[in-house]
Amino acid sequence: MAQPEGLLYSKEHEWLKVEGDVGVVGITDYAQNSLGDIVYVELPREGQTIQQFGSIGVVESVKAVSDLYTPVGGVVTEVNKALEADPALVNRDAFGEGWLYKVKLAGPAELEQLLAPSAYESLVAEG
Amino acid sequence: MYAPHTDSDIAEMLAVVGVSSLEELVEVPDAVAIAGPLDVPPSLPEIELAAKIAGYAKANTAVGYTSFLGAGAYRHYCPPVVMSLAMRGEFLTAYTPYQAEVSQGYLQAIYEWQTYVCLLTGLDIANASVYDGATALAEGAIMAVNATGRRAILVSRAVHPNYRAVLRTYARGLELDVEELPVAPDGTTDTTNLEARLADKRFAAVVVQSPNFFGSIDAPAADVVAAIKATGTILIGVVAEAMSLAVLATPASWGAEIAVGEGQSFGNPVAYGGPYVGFIASTKEHMRRIPGRLVGRSVDNRGNDAFTLTLQAREQHIRREKATSNICTNQAHCALVATIYLAAVGASGLRRAAVLNVERTYALAERVAAIDGFSRALGAPVFNEVAVRVPATFGAARVLAELERRSILGGVDLGRWYPEFADCVLMNATEVTTPEDIDALCVALGDIAAAARESAAVHV
Amino acid sequence: MSERLIFETGQPGRANTYFPNGRTADEFLPASALRDALPLPDNSELDVVRHFTRLSQKTFAIDTGFYPLGSCTMKYNPRVNEAMASQPGFKDLHPYAPDPLAQGALRVMYELERSLSAIFGMSAFSLNPAAGAHAELTALLIAKAYFAKIGQGASRTTVIVPDTAHGTNPASAAMVGYKVISLPSDARGRVGLEELKAAIGDDTAVCMMTNPNTLGLFEDHIHEIAEAVHAVGGLMYYDGANANALMGNARPGDMGFDLMHLNLHKTFSIPHGGGGAGHGPVGVAERLVPFLPVPIVTLDESGAYHLEHEREDAIGTMRSFWSNFSHAVRALTYIYANGGEGLTRVSQLAVLNANYVRARVKEFLPTPYDETCRHEFVATAQELKRETGVRALDIAKALLDRGYHAPTVYFPLLVPECLMIEPTETESKETLDGFIAALRDVVETAKRDPQAILDAPVHTVVGRIDETRAARHPDLRWVG
């Protein structure tokens, strides 16, 4: 399955969409599928400063709890409050309504550490 | 030996397996093979076994004494209906209810226990239980550390000394700092410097116990609680005597976000220290941090209400080194005993029992304080324990030894943990303490006081 | 049929007269110290009896059927143990009773400690920890204190855990700040000596193992493994979950283990009680004795027992009071009922039962490590799943329909679609034959009519439960 274009990816299966100086972060469809039914997402606080690849939350499914590593650093500007009531949004629409949080990007250099869709696709294909 | 195998069973089974003897089946490399037979006495037929162990039980002569021992383990009346239900084999010999379809009964009982803990503490959620009150405190402190990201705990010195000791043991493993708040002269926690100590926001939690180790009601005042909350510190309320929850203001009402404690008083015997049943309750915000097992209500594929262990992904068998705690077992059977006890006595019975504790303790305190040379050591209101100051010329240890000669266990010597209370005895009275018990104690103390006066006179 | 919650039955004021109706709390205590209403239900004693009797009838237990639950040792719980533990001389003994008046209890603890030391080849045991995971934490705190004492506290930072280990091992290691290194098993299902040697070094604090391991296989290189770990200055830890295979046959102390724990609720016949209370004594080799948690029971020259509360190097204490004492009574009763020869026989017959079931089950379900096992073995439904879509979990549920408890499934993690079966020694050949026939029926039905197994269970009081809903919308208590 091809990965959506226009996004950047991390090895920890998060995606990043750059919109000006803000990045939108989520987990990939591959990640949600491996986790199974997601029951809870613990997100960073708005206003929190986060470091690239730092552990900043957890995604909990019926069978596993997985740490959430942010693909980029910066200041969290918004979190997806809809996930509180309906964490299954991540299962249903990982690249869309299931986004996790937005972050004011620390700097463009960090983006170079991330994978293009084709590179992420190869990573997933290797299993 | 409780194995049913006949010789012919064994021969037949060995043949199926394809080995010639039991010894061959369990062979291990020579380097680790056992050198000889086990150094354990030969087996006893049950009739001799029962007599032997009964002899050990009879050697515990303390159970025949009139007792005022409390200090974290409480003697209460348990209606016979409680054990007759709890000891049913279906409950006693069940495994952890992982196969929910065949464990609905036990799961429902634990769900009921969780509800009882919530109703008694006033908090939103409770877990299926932990080992005991002291470990509940340690686990509650870890919850606060995880919630705040801070690595220090401030605990009142009026919290049970054993609970504080266990907290320190756990803290050494996790490399947390534990600091203490002093005790005021009236036997409650001294909070005068609290605000200053909290100012640098180093503490994950402030821990107070009510009734505290001295029996004193020690719920922090509203302005103290406000100061704690203003610094983002979590207030943990400890309840070592769950019976008190029937009449005293709930930990939730005095501001605790996390309540931990000991539920032994609900139907479980003192049993020389265990097993007991620790509980942890908290506000909703901490739901995903609460350690141990949790029972939840859901539905099955036929549309029925059904119970199951839930939020298990946080637990050690899935999350391994990243689990919220390593705790695995809960005290299911002790929690079941407590649940049946609460169901049987009901609100009315529990309240009556609790009020009797207060009544008998105040009677005890008044009677003892009326004896020349004895007085109440601390002024604060109490639930079912009272600190008594004994004649200084005698000291607590000698008073207790004199009482022991008269077949009375007068309480615990507070000097064991608190040098400033070296001449004080902590006495407990519950609904099982009779007026005759109090009479016997007071007669004995009167004799001791007279002897103390005489010996003082002789020395002069 | 569902049973109403105790909170939904009864009537206010329907009080049982256990206690006299006397005065009120506000006659003694200030109003500010008192709570508002006490919102608990009042039920008649008869209604309480019926409620909990019906709940018991919806609960599977050893007393109602066979429990082939791997790693859990669900053996018969002799009733003499219960009778002994519930004598007033034990159950009404207060933990602060003076030592001279509690000699019987102290003797129980002392003799249990000596017996366990003899059976497992350790210098001493502590009865302080409440359960297996609690014991692991205790043992690792002992290791940490020991390394601090010899000046290696800062350098010993890692714990080696084989991939077959119980999940509590890494969780416990994390609670004392140790970093966990997971060690893959070799093709024979054992810890590979070369892989182990590559993983250990002067940062190794403890290597945690169980033997037999969770595949039911004896770690036949255990002596070399212990030597290698000791050569780099590390300690060997024995997880006693599988001790039922060993008694009278091999001792962890002789294998080179320095620390161990036992689950008395497994090997020593204490009832599981629906998930606790357990009892998890910790045993140590000579050089670790000073670090054991307090209190410790000692025997003086006059024949008197004492509870020693102060020891300079002790790690502290792990719980409110001394031990899960009632369980110590049960375990000692069990040991004296069996004697040394009986315990040896217990382990032999536990191994016989497991091998008998393995030999018959492999006719219809593959057993990935095809050799003589110890007290338990693993089978796999991997092929069956490929052919029919029926997974280990489905087999487990179909066994419930046939009156048996499920085996442990999906553990150990390295065997896909794993079923882990431990019959214990207290089951008769007839019971085992019945179970084997039921399991065969499940597998054959799966091949013929997989949907029938996927739909299981159908004969239980409830069907499969919506776990996702339970976790997404937690309902953890009744709300009026």
Q: Is C36 in the same domain as C97? A: no
Cβ atoms C264, C280 nearer than 8 A: yes
Could you give the residue ranges of the DSSP H alpha helices within B149-297? 161-174, 194-198, 222-230
Residue B423, pLDDT score:
94
CA-based nearest distance A38→chain C, Å: 8
We report the CATH number of the domain holding residue C432 as 3.90.1150.10
B133-161 residue pLDDT tens: 999 999 999 999 989 989 999 999 999 99
% of chain B exceeding 70 in pLDDT: 96
Q: Which chains pack against B, by 3+ Cβ pairs within 8 A?
A: A, C
The pLDDT mean for chain B works out to 94
% of chain A exceeding 70 in pLDDT: 98
B176-193 residue pLDDT tens: 999 999 999 999 999 999
Kind plus residue range of the DSSP H or E element containing B445:
helix B435-459
C299-335 residue pLDDT tens: 999 999 999 999 999 999 999 999 999 999 999 999 9
**Measured distance between the N- and C-terminal CA atoms of chain A, rounded to whole angstroms:** 13
Note if the bond before C295 is cis, omega within 30 degrees.
yes
Whether A64 has its CB under 8 Å from any CB of chain C: the answer is no
What ipTM, to 2 d.p.? Answer: 0.97
Q: Is C246 in the same domain as C218? A: yes
Q: Is B360 helix (H, G, I), strand (E, B) or coil?
A: helix
Q: At what angle do helices C168-175 and C132-149 cross, to 10 degrees?
A: 40
Distances (CA, A) of C272 to B263, B264, C55, C115: 19, 18, 17, 22
Residue B401, pLDDT score:
97
Are A88 and C467 an interchain contact pair (Cβ–Cβ within 8 Å)?
no
Give the side-chain half-sphere CA count within 13 A for C205: 28
Sign of the CA dihedral with C451 first, then C452, C458, and C460 last: negative
CA-based nearest distance B139→chain A, Å: 20
Whether A121 has its CB under 8 Å from any CB of chain C: the answer is no
Give the mean pLDDT of C167-179: 87
Are A60 and B319 an interchain contact pair (Cβ–Cβ within 8 Å)?
no
Distances (CA, A) of C96 to A43, B40, B386, B410, C338: 48, 30, 16, 11, 32
Are C320 and B135 an interchain contact pair (Cβ–Cβ within 8 Å)?
yes
* CA B23 to chain centroid: 46
Cβ atoms A40, A87 nearer than 8 A: yes
Give the mean pLDDT of B39-59: 97
For residue A113, tell me if it sits in a domain.
Answer: no
Q: Which chains pack against C, by 3+ Cβ pairs within 8 A?
A: A, B
- Cβ neighbours of C105 in B, within 8 Å: 56, 60, 272
- Cβ neighbours of C468 in A, within 8 Å: 37, 39, 62
- Assigned token pair, C51: 């409620």
The domain of C163 spans 80-337
For residue A91, tell me if it sits in a domain.
Answer: yes
Q: Is C93 in the same domain as C41? A: no
For residue A119, tell me if it sits in a domain.
Answer: no
Domain count, chain C: 3
Residue B316, pLDDT score:
55
Give the length of chain A: 127
* CA A105 to chain centroid: 14
The greatest distance separating any two alpha carbons of chain C, rounded to the nearest whole angstrom, comes to 75
Confidence check: pLDDT of B320 > 70: no
C111-149 residue pLDDT tens: 999 999 999 999 999 999 999 999 999 999 999 999 999
Are B34 and C92 an interchain contact pair (Cβ–Cβ within 8 Å)?
no
Whether A60 has its CB under 8 Å from any CB of chain C: the answer is yes
Residue C329, pLDDT score:
98
For residue A14, tell me if it sits in a domain.
Answer: no
pLDDT higher at C174 or C430:
C430
For residue A85, tell me if it sits in a domain.
Answer: yes
For residue A51, tell me if it sits in a domain.
Answer: yes
Q: From the list A42, A62, A67, which residue is nearest B313 (CB)?
A: A62
Q: Is C178 in the same domain as C310? A: yes
We report the CATH number of the domain holding residue C265 as 3.40.640.10
Confidence check: pLDDT of B460 > 60: no
Give the mean pLDDT of C240-256: 95
Whether C2 has its CB under 8 Å from any CB of chain A: the answer is no
Residue B317's pLDDT band (cuts 50, 70, 90) = low
Q: Which of residues 340-359 of C touch A (CB under 8 A)?
A: none
- Cβ neighbours of A60 in B, within 8 Å: 288, 311, 313-314
Q: Is C357 in the same domain as C330? A: no
Confidence check: pLDDT of B452 > 90: no
Cβ neighbours around A24 below 10 Å, total = 18
For residue C165, tell me if it sits in a domain.
Answer: yes
For residue A32, tell me if it sits in a domain.
Answer: yes
Cβ neighbours around B398 below 10 Å, total = 16
CA-based nearest distance A6→chain C, Å: 32
CA-based nearest distance B286→chain A, Å: 12
Residue B412, pLDDT score:
98
Confidence check: pLDDT of A59 > 60: yes
Are A62 and B288 an interchain contact pair (Cβ–Cβ within 8 Å)?
no
Give the mean pLDDT of A93-98: 95
Residue C237's pLDDT band (cuts 50, 70, 90) = very high
Whether A45 has its CB under 8 Å from any CB of chain B: the answer is no
Q: Which chains pack against A, by 3+ Cβ pairs within 8 A?
A: B, C
For residue C218, tell me if it sits in a domain.
Answer: yes
Closest alpha carbon within chain C to B211: C33
Distances (CA, A) of B400 to B409, B449, C100: 7, 12, 14
Give the mean pLDDT of B239-256: 98
Residue A3, pLDDT score:
85
**Structural domains present in chain B:** 64-73+346-459 (3.90.1150.10), 80-341 (3.40.640.10)
The pLDDT mean for chain A works out to 91
Q: Is C222 in the same domain as C122? A: yes
Output the DSSP codes for C152-191. Answer: -TTT--EEEEETTS-THHHHHHHHTTPEEEEE-B-TTSSB
For residue C320, tell me if it sits in a domain.
Answer: yes
Q: Is C293 in the same domain as C346? A: no
For residue A31, tell me if it sits in a domain.
Answer: yes
Residue B459, pLDDT score:
58
Residue A36, pLDDT score:
87
* DSSP label of B216: B
What are the beta bridge partners of residue B206?
B154, B235
Residue A110, pLDDT score:
92
Mutant choice from A32, A35, A37 vs C, greatest count of C C-beta within 10 A: A37
Confidence check: pLDDT of B69 > 80: yes
Note if the bond before C412 is cis, omega within 30 degrees.
yes
CA-based nearest distance C157→chain A, Å: 22
Cβ atoms C5, B343 nearer than 8 A: no
Cβ atoms C127, C323 nearer than 8 A: yes
Q: From the list A40, A61, A64, which residue is nearest B288 (CB)?
A: A40
For residue C470, tell me if it sits in a domain.
Answer: no
Q: From the list B50, B175, B249, which residue is nearest C83 (CB)?
A: B50
Q: Is C177 in the same domain as C214? A: yes
- Cβ neighbours of C467 in A, within 8 Å: 62
We report the CATH number of the domain holding residue A58 as 2.40.50.100
Give the mean pLDDT of B217-231: 97
The pLDDT mean for chain C works out to 95
What are the beta bridge partners of residue C240?
C262
What does residue A78 show for φ and ψ, rounded to 5 degrees?
A: -160, 145
Domain count, chain A: 1
Closest of B137, B282, B323 to residue B213, by C-alpha: B137
Are C472 and A60 an interchain contact pair (Cβ–Cβ within 8 Å)?
no
Mutant choice from C156, C465, C475 vs B, greatest count of B C-beta within 10 A: C465
Are B132 and C320 an interchain contact pair (Cβ–Cβ within 8 Å)?
yes
Query: Domain end: C315, C337, C359, which one?
Result: C337
Residue B322, pLDDT score:
59
Closest of B298, C468, B287 to residue A87, by C-alpha: C468
Confidence check: pLDDT of B319 > 90: no
Q: Is C353 in the same domain as C395? A: yes
CA-based nearest distance B458→chain C, Å: 31
Are C471 and A88 an interchain contact pair (Cβ–Cβ within 8 Å)?
no
Residue C15's pLDDT band (cuts 50, 70, 90) = confident
The greatest distance separating any two alpha carbons of chain A, rounded to the nearest whole angstrom, comes to 37
Amino acid at residue number A14? E
Closest alpha carbon within chain B to C45: B344
CA-based nearest distance B213→chain C, Å: 13
Q: From the list B288, B311, B322, which residue is nearest A42 (CB)?
A: B288
The domain of A74 spans 21-107
- Cβ neighbours of A37 in C, within 8 Å: 468, 471-472
